[in-house]
Amino acid sequence: MIAIPTNLTVELLLEEAKKYCDAKTVDWIQLAYEFADSAHAGQKRKSGELYISHPLATAYILATMRIDPNIVVASLMHDIPEDTAVTLADIEKNFSKDIASMIAGITKLGTLKYRGVERYLENLRKMFVAMAEDVRVMIIKFADRIHNLTTLDSLPPNKRHRIAWESLEIYAPIANRLGMGEFKGMLEDLSFPYIYPKEFEKVKAIRADTLSNAAEALKKTSVRISEELKKAGVKVVSLHSREKQLYSLYQKLLKRDWETTKIYDIIALRIVVQDVGDCYAALGIIHQIWRPLKGRIKDYIAQPKPNGYQSLHTTIFGEDGKVMEFQIRTKEMHDEAEYGVAAHWHYDENGVRLPNKNIAWAQELAKLQKETLANLSDLEEMKIDFFHNHIFVFTPKGDVIDLPEDATPVDFAYHIHSDIGHHCSGAKINDQLVSLDTPLKSGDVVEVITSKDRKGPSPDWMKTVKTHAAKMHIKNKLNKTKLQWLKSILPKKK
């Protein structure tokens, strides 16, 4: 997790920038700081700190990610138009049109507050529009929100709760959909204690106890796998342990009735190697040394998650009989997993920007905005369709379908096509016949059985489907059928 220094100064920000920027660019970042410092002169935050401390912290978070200097510069000035007399035109004149455009996008999102469901939905739509236009706006907004969460104690309890709730229910799931694991985890764990304080303390204690009990086994396992990989000629970029984020652990504990013995990834060893071949070689070596748990080998390299996540996962009976997970990936996969869409503006160790190889996220945002978002009128529907935990299932041909958690075969059918949904008479999950209200799980292969004799959807499906699209198609078809029936029984006009 990115740590913001307690006494953060512009010098510390510039030190981070020097790790991947040339001297001219570092000077430009300093100039942006001085411009923002002058604009915010005399302003203070609720905590009593100088206002400049907030944009400085936002920029620092982004600089630690080695992100495009344009984004760092925009983050330093992101609150200027809203809170000072300096205008966007002034920023464009002194810096660039691109910088001013990002700040304009952030300013539009400045009014996103919970003020009743209707207005809130409208603001959420604005957020999706802003993301579809320039996702860099959302990257800055995430960093901005993370710093705000670290200073929540200076706000009144009701405001504290609202900001934490928004972060947990809206911002973190969007970060997840954009593949930004690092930001998702920080948004969740910083919000968690303000929404569920007792549960937060309980989960923290469970994780600490697990780590304490497994510390020795973790050390032995790390040493042994390092030696074996070296012998086999597999070059390791990095090998480190990873603790499960607290809110993510809390969600798993709820599903498992708080039985920690059923959760295998509280601690994991993460191996970062040079290429895909080394990923599979490392997996083979691990399975030669330790016995894997049945059903716990997951290949997200061959079948990535819908948000682009790639990695190999396996759970083994490790040293001293301790069960632990391994995650194996390349450096590129690791950056993608940590930073998601932000990885496309990420600079490597030599100050070279990584190429944008995948623009699926941008197409996804445009599709959400164009096709479905305009029809949503309910906050819960929006949360289920876009912010809920998502699963990915497969068609018999191997195509990946992204659905909300607990979606059914009927949701799957309507996702393929409305006609398939209307004529759905049965389903198979992993070649087994199941009822149409069976909740799907990630990795399931789903086959829909259709019948020409079926006249349309069952009204009962409305009780079990999860997606807005399925509900809309079922409702429209039922209404159309009802109307046709009424026309058939009403006397015809002469």
pLDDT along the chain (494 residues), means of 10: 89 96 96 97 91 97 94 96 93 95 85 53 67 84 95 91 87 84 95 96 95 91 95 95 94 90 89 96 96 92 84 92 93 89 75 55 56 54 62 81 88 93 93 93 88 90 90 89 71 60
Give CATH for domain 198-345: 3.30.460.10
Catalytic residue among 15, 27, 49, 82: 82
In whole angstroms, give the CA distance from residue 205 to residue 321: 22
Catalogue the E-assigned strands of 212-302: 236-243, 267-273, 291-292, 298-299
Specify the domain boundaries for CATH 1.10.3210.10 within the chain: 10-195
Spatial contact of 173 and 387, defined as CB atoms under 8 Å apart: yes
Catalytic residue among 83, 90, 199, 332: 83
Q: Check residue 357 and give its pLDDT.
A: 46
C-alpha pair distances (Å), 145 with each of 65, 72, 188 = 16, 15, 11
Spatial contact of 400 and 391, defined as CB atoms under 8 Å apart: no
Q: Check residue 114 and give its pLDDT.
A: 46
- The 10 Å CB-count burial string (b at 16+, else e) for 275-290 is ebebbbbbbebbeeeb
Whether 380 is a known active-site residue: answer no
Whether 83 is a known active-site residue: answer yes
Domain 389-489 classification at class level: alpha beta
Q: Check residue 316 and give its pLDDT.
A: 95
Spatial contact of 462 and 436, defined as CB atoms under 8 Å apart: no
Chosen CATH of 10-195 out of 3.40.50.720, 3.40.50.300, 1.10.3210.10, 1.10.8.420: 1.10.3210.10
Specify the domain boundaries for CATH 3.10.20.30 within the chain: 389-489
Q: Check residue 437 and give its pLDDT.
A: 94
Q: Check residue 358 and give its pLDDT.
A: 47
Q: Check residue 361 and give its pLDDT.
A: 52
Asked whether the CA dihedral 160, 163, 165, 167 is positive or negative, the reply is negative
Specify the domain boundaries for CATH 3.30.460.10 within the chain: 198-345
C-alpha pair distances (Å), 116 with each of 121, 161, 162, 165, 379 = 9, 15, 12, 14, 10
Spatial contact of 206 and 247, defined as CB atoms under 8 Å apart: no
In whole angstroms, give the CA distance from residue 110 to residue 394: 39
Q: Check residue 377 and give its pLDDT.
A: 55
